[in-house]
A = this chain, B = another copy of it.
Amino acid sequence: MDDRKKSASTLKDVANAAGVSLGTASKVLAGAASVSEARQRQVWEAARKLGYRRNSLAAELRSCRSTSIGFVVPDLTNSFFIELVCALEDHALESGYRLILAHAQEDPEREAERIRFVLSRQVAGMIIIPCHGYEHAISELRECDVPLVMADRVDNSFPANTVTTDSHRAAMDGTAHLIALGHRRITFIVNALDLVNSRERAQGYQDAMQRAGLAQHANVVVCGMSDTESHATTLGVLAARERPTALFTGANVATLGALRAIRDAGLQLPDDISLLSFDDAPWMSVLRPGISSIRQPAEAIARGIWHLLHKQLQGESPEIVHLRMRADLRVRDSTGPVRNGEWGEAARAAAARPL
């Protein structure tokens, strides 16, 4: 709360100082060529001298056009989302738009508020990566025909343009990698099953296990949305009488918690246990052992999002498109062959069976 009318000079001031009319000043500052060079100079000079700064609230209100795009992100702590932010900022800038970032902090209520906030600022378009339990938040968008692209945590049933990773397939690939290494007791640790993509990841894992005849070993554990929860959960998993030989973490938080738990349990990666992480991060390739991960194609996703949004901004294509991207496996050092000593006969037999 603060009125600062004291100093801010307005277009009127500039026009007066330049000795032209308000309309002319407006045109000049908007870059119109239809004003004589002499006056253009006068106006620019006056603006400079007065330290004039356009009030874009007024400009946008009057013209009913905005060059801002609202981007609602659930978690700035996740480097995948940050990559998206950076890439999208570049795309937006290139097309003459600006991003207004809104951070939901994985809280559906806050997300709803963020959406309301962004919408009330009359953005030209929106990009949303929802939190879990976002139905309520999304209902903020009803009866609102802002160009919209949803990403990552949505599926193809969503009645809007979406860009997602094929999580099911990626999780199958990851699981197959682990199985090929001889692992049978593979536990999948996931943040929350009410996130569509996490559910897909878990499903991909289960399908891969089943396809390998390992359905009886399939074990999906939900670890929550925080480090501490996932740490505690993984500690529990590791303390089981039949400890898994491999962990597949289905999300950023899960990986952090699992890693800390593995460390606390005094286990070595990959000799005592293997770990595969869904979602890559810069630090994963920097230490020894490097963490094997599934990397989502952030750049491609951002490009897809912007493509879909931009088309709408230009008034094109009202039909809904669902883009689906392929993630790839980055095998590093945290996934290794299972230790023979740990295999029972049944596991050995299963290993012999073709996948």
Beta-carbon contacts under 8 Å, A78-134 to B: 79, 82, 85-86, 89, 98-103, 105, 116-117, 119-122, 124-125
A306 to chain B, nearest CB (A): 15
Interface band, chain A? 35 or more
Decide if B313 touches A285 in the complex (CB within 8 Å): no
**Identical copies of this chain, number:** 2
A77 within 8 A of B: yes
Q: Are the CB atoms of A287 and B313 closer together than 8 Å?
A: no
Chain B residues with Cβ below 8 Å from A6 are 145
A57→B122 contact, CB < 8 A:
yes
Q: Which residues of B contact A76 (CB under 8 A)?
A: 76, 82, 85-86
Convert A1-24 into 0s and 1s, putting 1 for each residue whose CB lies closer than 8 angstroms to a CB of B.
111111110000000000000000
For the complex, give the distance between the alpha carbons of A124 and B57 in Å: 13
Chain B CB within 8 A of A263 CB: yes
Q: Interface with B: A48-56, A181-189, A342-350, which one?
A: A48-56
Chain B CB within 8 A of A281 CB: yes
Stretch from A62-70, A198-206, A213-221 forming part of the interface with B: A62-70
Task: List, in ascending order, chain B residues with CB within 8 A of A85's CB.
Answer: 76, 103
Q: Could you tell me if A66 and B2 are in contact, using CB atoms closer than 8 angstroms?
A: yes
Instruction: Indicate if A147 sits at the interface (CB-CB under 8 A).
Output: yes
**Interface presence of A241 (CB below 8 A):** no
CB of A141 to closest CB in B, whole Å: 10
Q: Say whether A64 contacts B286, CB under 8 Å.
A: no
Which residues in chain A, 257-304, are within 8 Å of chain B measured between CB atoms? 259-260, 263, 281-283, 285-288, 290
A33 within 8 A of B: no
Chain B residues contacting A122 (CB-CB under 8 Å) are 55-57
Known contacts A5-B64, A53-B144, A256-B283, then 20 further A-B pairs from the complex at CB < 8 Å, ordered by chain A residue? A1-B124, A1-B313, A2-B124, A2-B125, A4-B64, A4-B145, A4-B146, A7-B143, A8-B144, A56-B120, A57-B60, A86-B103, A101-B103, A227-B282, A259-B283, A259-B287, A260-B285, A263-B287, A263-B288, A281-B283
Interface positions of A (Cβ within 8 A of B): 1-8, 51, 53-58, 60-61, 64-67, 76-77, 79, 82, 85-86, 89, 98-103, 105, 116-117, 119-122, 124-125, 142-147, 227, 256, 259-260, 263, 281-283, 285-288, 290, 313, 315
